[in-house]
Amino acid sequence: MPFEPGRTVLRRYFRGVHYTFVQPMRVIRDDHAGLLLWTPAGSEFAVLRDAAGNSQHELPINEMRSPRLVRKTWEDNDILVLRPYDGWHSIWWFFERGDFVGWYVNLETPCARHENAIDLTDLVLDVWVRPDRTWEWKDEDEMAARIGNPAYFDAEQAAVVRAEGERLIRLAEAGAFPFDGTHVDFRPDPTWPVPVLPEDLGRPS
């Protein structure tokens, strides 16, 4: 069943037995185009940190010491996130004080739906696309360092992830959906409450 517009769902990334990122988001719509979600700057989210404060950007998850979710504030940008039903990516529209500033292509697995959440695994490599549709890879060094790690992916799987990024880059260069101007003028209703995290963030099942 689709999520009802206006409700809050959790967008959760996990790896192994740990959630690595949990963010509450408002459902804008849920239809044939996918699940469209919104959260503003100033909202709460949680990210995995180890005992020394390292994130997965600094250390692979299987080298983190006593990892746990830490609650933080989402700063700087409002984001609109489109999660296609079967795609290996999500597209994030970034806004600064209401102005569109670019797209973020987050490479990730298809999602599993739950009553109040969607669960996914982040695939490390990402693409930043500017409003003029010039682009750059993000986290290439981190991706290369994770290849062969049993908690992540092998070289063949990494090549598939990169190919998905390259496919979306071609769409951006062509100005095709979702890089065709759709949603760049999105404005949230100012009366919408800020999504909040629940006390219990759960564990991957």
Measure the CA–CA gap between 16 and 108, rounded to whole angstroms: 15
Nearest to 99 by CA among 83, 81, 77, 82: 77
Average pLDDT for runs of 10 along the chain of length 205:
95 95 97 96 96 94 95 94 94 96 97 94 98 98 96 96 98 98 96 92 73
**How confident is the model at residue 201, as a pLDDT?**
83
The pTM score is 0.95
What is the total residue count of the chain? 205
**How confident is the model at residue 178, as a pLDDT?**
97
**How confident is the model at residue 200, as a pLDDT?**
84
26: Cβ contacts below 8 Å, ≥ 6 apart: 6, 7, 8, 37, 38, 39, 192, 195
Q: Which amino acid is at 16?
A: G
Contact yes or no for 92/81 (Cβ under 8 A): yes
Contact yes or no for 87/176 (Cβ under 8 A): no
Q: DSSP letter at 14?
A: E
Measure the CA–CA gap between 105 and 165, rounded to whole angstroms: 8
Q: Which residues pair with 38 in a beta bridge?
A: 26, 80
**How confident is the model at residue 76, as a pLDDT?**
83
Contact yes or no for 84/92 (Cβ under 8 A): no
Element (H, E) at 170: helix 155-174
For 174: left if phi > 0, alpha if psi spans -120 to 50, otherwise beta; the answer is alpha
**How confident is the model at residue 191, as a pLDDT?**
95
**How confident is the model at residue 183, as a pLDDT?**
98
**How confident is the model at residue 205, as a pLDDT?**
62
**How confident is the model at residue 86, as a pLDDT?**
83
Contact yes or no for 39/47 (Cβ under 8 A): no
Measure the CA–CA gap between 67 and 47, rounded to whole angstroms: 10
Element (H, E) at 171: helix 155-174
**3-class secondary structure per residue, 49-75:** ECCCCCCCCCCCHHHCCCCEEEEEECC
Q: Are strands 117-120 and 8-15 parallel, antiparallel or unpaired?
A: parallel
